[in-house]
């Protein structure tokens, strides 16, 4: 199971999460200010409406006047319309504010994800990241659209209502405040329980989404090994864990409504009874008690509504913690100052002192040690060189470190010890962007994107013309099969090009590498997943592509590397043999054994 983006944040950190969320409001001050102003208008309208009840009822019961009644009625209609307009505009501005905040968070998440190092993606499942991008953001969006406006309205309503209650009767207001003590005790207790359970629910949902994504990707493997039943059982375990955490979260959150409802009814009843005594004693009028009772409802209703939103708020905060955990992941570090520049149609390395050095494609490893984790080396004392235009091959058992070497050339990872030189310049002194601008890779697992064939080839160089695309396809021996498709180069590929064969996808990958016109080419078992006939077709395309370029080849089939200038045989992260095909065969060592085994298998 991959490392999870889940938070173990305490209640103190929940405050930090809220504070961090509030900062996003400052990016859209206009929407925020107008949203608050209109929300205040809408909330005050309700308070004014309730305040009008006292003089109206007193007038009706003591000194009735039709003209006064009509005037009061007109005022109440105006206040109602004014309040409704305020509530609508407040909700509108706050809704747009929420959408803008979510838009910014989405953008920050994706932009930041593109800056993360490769080891982040090595340790985080695709489904887990997708859950953060979708589920966590969606629940946060729901809270921002609904709960924020509701909380603002409630704060204004509670504050205004409390002031009016004090003006009507200090004694009745003191009794209501006494009831609030029980309310806050209940909310605090339930809130703590709900917070912990909603965090657990969000984390479990992420784990299950990751599992589903992994199983969807591996359906062929599942079916070929008849593991459907085992997969279903594992899903049931994940689903049951999610159900349990969701049930625990819901158990506490649903307590809020009945508790708040009961306490508000008790408060209303006590206010009515005590108010009745005050009216009889001449300390209050009938209109006063009627208005106060209406204020009691207005006082407890927003508290109840906010409490009812508690599950959404807590789930949103749990999601926000996971979003911020992603945003707080350390970006890929690049201290390289050497840049790639073009001068008189030729490319050069520009050193920090302004000196220009020709881009040639020479790579040298000097005593390089590397491990994906600090205490376990994958490569040990690697020494090798590739002169410009040479073809260097790596062979060896699975896990020997062949792919790791090419990943270091790309600076996907930084070495522990030693040096890697590119045209005599230390690799870590060259900008990663500029290094990768000179490289192309053709991998065993081809990644194509949803779009046309033309767009997928042009991915190697976005400013390439249609003619450049066709030339690259011809170089890769892909032009023929592309033109047999109904829409040719405009044929739309499904996700990862599943409507093409493995060989056709690989040819497009070669064309994409060719259009980038790289100085260094890396071929990572590019023909290991295709048949012999398709391999020969791909090999012709790769031979054209390799011409004049420094090429590193990771070979699954040894027949593809016999013409290499040098072959490196790796075992357990060390180079144990080196030389060309004839020299290594004469040694009758590991390379000889691999070749004999290949010949026997063939």
The answer as to whether 239 is a domain residue is yes
The answer as to whether 32 is a domain residue is yes
Question: Domain range spanning residue 68?
Answer: 11-327
Task: Supply the pLDDT for residue 191.
Answer: 67
pLDDT in tens, 438-462: 988 887 777 888 889 999 899 888 8
Q: Which pLDDT band, with edges at 50, 70 and 90, does 11 fall under?
A: very low
pLDDT in tens, 141-193: 888 887 777 777 788 888 888 888 888 888 888 888 887 787 777 777 776 77
| pTM of the predicted protein model | 0.72
The answer as to whether 375 is a domain residue is yes
Choose one of 268, 302, 327: the last residue of a domain.
Answer: 327
Q: How far is CA 71 from the centre of its chain?
A: 58
Q: Which pLDDT band, with edges at 50, 70 and 90, does 9 fall under?
A: very low
Does residue 136 contact residue 202 with C-beta atoms inside 8 Å?
Answer: yes
* Same domain (yes/no): 240, 166: yes
The answer as to whether 576 is a domain residue is yes
* Same domain (yes/no): 159, 258: yes
* Same domain (yes/no): 159, 52: yes
pLDDT in tens, 384-426: 999 998 999 998 888 888 889 999 998 988 898 999 999 999 9
The answer as to whether 4 is a domain residue is no
Task: Supply the pLDDT for residue 236.
Answer: 86
Using alpha carbons, list the distances in angstroms from residue 161 to 33, 147, 152, 267, 484: 22, 20, 14, 15, 76
Q: How far apart are CA 276 and CA 266, in angstroms?
A: 15
Which neighbouring-strand residues pair with 442?
523
Q: Which two tokens stand for residue 188?
A: 């605090």
* Same domain (yes/no): 301, 381: no
| Alpha helix positions (H), 169-227 | 170-217, 219-224
Task: Supply the pLDDT for residue 48.
Answer: 80
* Same domain (yes/no): 323, 377: no
CATH code of the domain covering residue 97 = 1.20.1560.10
pLDDT in tens, 333-384: 888 899 999 888 889 999 999 899 999 999 999 999 998 887 788 999 999 9
* Same domain (yes/no): 177, 309: yes
pLDDT in tens, 56-83: 777 777 777 788 778 878 888 888 888 8
| Residue where the block lists tokens 């950190």 | 13
Q: Which two tokens stand for residue 435?
A: 């290094």
The answer as to whether 339 is a domain residue is no
Task: Supply the pLDDT for residue 101.
Answer: 92
* Same domain (yes/no): 438, 546: yes
The answer as to whether 588 is a domain residue is yes
Task: Supply the pLDDT for residue 8.
Answer: 36
Q: Which pLDDT band, with edges at 50, 70 and 90, does 2 fall under?
A: very low
* Same domain (yes/no): 255, 369: no
E strand or H helix that includes residue 103: helix 66-113
* Same domain (yes/no): 544, 398: yes
* Same domain (yes/no): 87, 209: yes
Q: Is 367 left (phi over 0), alpha (psi -120 to 50) or beta?
A: left
Using alpha carbons, list the distances in angstroms from residue 204 to 78, 147, 318, 475: 51, 24, 12, 49
Choose one of 281, 311, 327: the last residue of a domain.
Answer: 327
CATH code of the domain covering residue 597 = 3.40.50.300
Who contacts 358 (Cβ-Cβ below 8 Å, separation ≥6)?
346, 347, 348, 349, 423
Task: Supply the pLDDT for residue 4.
Answer: 43
* Same domain (yes/no): 43, 141: yes
* Same domain (yes/no): 317, 384: no
Show the CA angle centred on residue 589, arms to residues 584 and 590, nearest 5°: 95
Choose one of 327, 347, 377: the last residue of a domain.
Answer: 327
Q: With 70 as the cut, is the pLDDT of residue 5 above it?
A: no
Number of domains in the chain: 2
The answer as to whether 338 is a domain residue is no
| Residue where the block lists tokens 């912990």 | 196
Q: How far apart are CA 365 and CA 393, in angstroms?
A: 14
Task: Supply the pLDDT for residue 569.
Answer: 92
Task: Supply the pLDDT for residue 340.
Answer: 92
Strands 520-524 and 439-443: parallel
Q: Which pLDDT band, with edges at 50, 70 and 90, does 597 fall under?
A: low
Mean of the pLDDT values across residues 199-210?
Answer: 76
């Amino acid at each position: 199971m991959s490392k999870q983006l889940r938070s173990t944040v305490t209640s103190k950190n929940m405050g930090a999460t809220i504070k961090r969320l509030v900062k996003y409001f400052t990016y859209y001050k206009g929407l925020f200010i107008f949203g608050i102003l209109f929300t205040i208008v809408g909330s005050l309208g309700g308070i004014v409406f309730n305040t009008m009840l006292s003089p109206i009822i007193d007038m009706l019961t003591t000194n009735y006047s039709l003209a006064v009644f009509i005037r009061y009625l007109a005022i109440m209609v105006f206040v109602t319309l004014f309040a409704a307009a305020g509530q609508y505009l407040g909700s509108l501005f706050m809704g747009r504010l929420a959408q803008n905040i979510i838009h910014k968070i989405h953008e920050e998440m994706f932009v930041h994800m593109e800056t993360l190092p490769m080891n982040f993606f090595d340790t985080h499942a695709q489904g887990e990241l997708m859950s953060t991008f979708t589920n966590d953001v969606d629940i946060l969006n729901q809270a921002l659209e609904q709960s924020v406006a509701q909380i603002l309205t409630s704060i204004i309503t509670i504050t205004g209502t409390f002031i009016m209650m004090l003006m009507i009767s200090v004694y009745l207001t003191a009794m209501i405040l006494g009831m609030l003590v029980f309310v806050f005790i209940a909310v605090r207790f339930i809130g703590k329980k709900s917070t912990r359970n909603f965090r657990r629910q969000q984390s479990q949902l992420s784990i299950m989404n990751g599992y589903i994504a992994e199983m969807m990707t591996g359906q062929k493997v599942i079916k070929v090994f008849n593991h459907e039943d085992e997969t279903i059982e594992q899903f049931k375990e994940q689903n049951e864990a999610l159900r349990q955490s969701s049930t625990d979260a819901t158990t506490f959150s649903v307590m809020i409504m009945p508790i708040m409802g009961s306490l508000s009814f008790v408060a209303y009843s006590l206010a009515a009874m005590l108010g009745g005594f005050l009216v009889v004693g001449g300390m209050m009028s009938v209109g006063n008690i009627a208005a106060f009772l209406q204020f009691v409802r207005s006082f407890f209703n927003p508290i109840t509504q906010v409490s009812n939103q508690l599950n959404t708020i807590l789930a949103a905060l749990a999601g926000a913690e996971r979003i911020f955990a992603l945003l707080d992941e350390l970006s890929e570090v690049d201290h390289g100052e050497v840049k790639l520049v073009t001068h008189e149609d030729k490319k050069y390395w520009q050193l920090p002192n302004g000196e220009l050095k020709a881009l040639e494609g020479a790579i040298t490893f000097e005593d390089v040690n590397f491990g994906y984790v600090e205490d376990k080396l994958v490569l040990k004392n690697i020494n090798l060189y590739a002169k410009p235009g040479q073809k260097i091959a790596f062979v060896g058992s699975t896990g020997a470190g062949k792919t790791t070497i090419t990943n270091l050339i790309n600076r996907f990872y930084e070495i522990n010890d030693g040096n890697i030189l590119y045209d005599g310049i230390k690799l870590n002194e060259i900008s990663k962007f500029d290094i990768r601008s000179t490289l192309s890779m053709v991998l065993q697992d081809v990644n194509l994107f949803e779009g046309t064939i033309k767009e997928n080839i042009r991915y190697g160089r976005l400013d390439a013309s249609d003619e450049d695309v066709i030339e690259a396809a011809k170089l890769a021996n892909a032009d023929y099969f592309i033109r047999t498709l109904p829409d040719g180069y405009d044929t739309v590929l499904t996700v990862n090009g599943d409507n093409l064969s493995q060989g056709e996808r690989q040819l497009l990958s070669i064309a994409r590498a060719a259009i980038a016109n790289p100085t260094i080419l890396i071929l990572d078992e590019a023909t290991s997943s295709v048949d012999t006939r398709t391999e020969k077709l791909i090999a012709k395309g790769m031979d054209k592509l390799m011409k004049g370029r420094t090429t590193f080849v990771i070979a699954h089939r040894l027949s593809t590397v016999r013409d290499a200038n040098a072959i490196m045989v790796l075992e357990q992260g060390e180079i144990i043999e080196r030389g060309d095909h004839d020299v290594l065969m004469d040694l009758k060592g590991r390379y000889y054994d691999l070749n004999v085994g290949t010949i026997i298998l063939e």
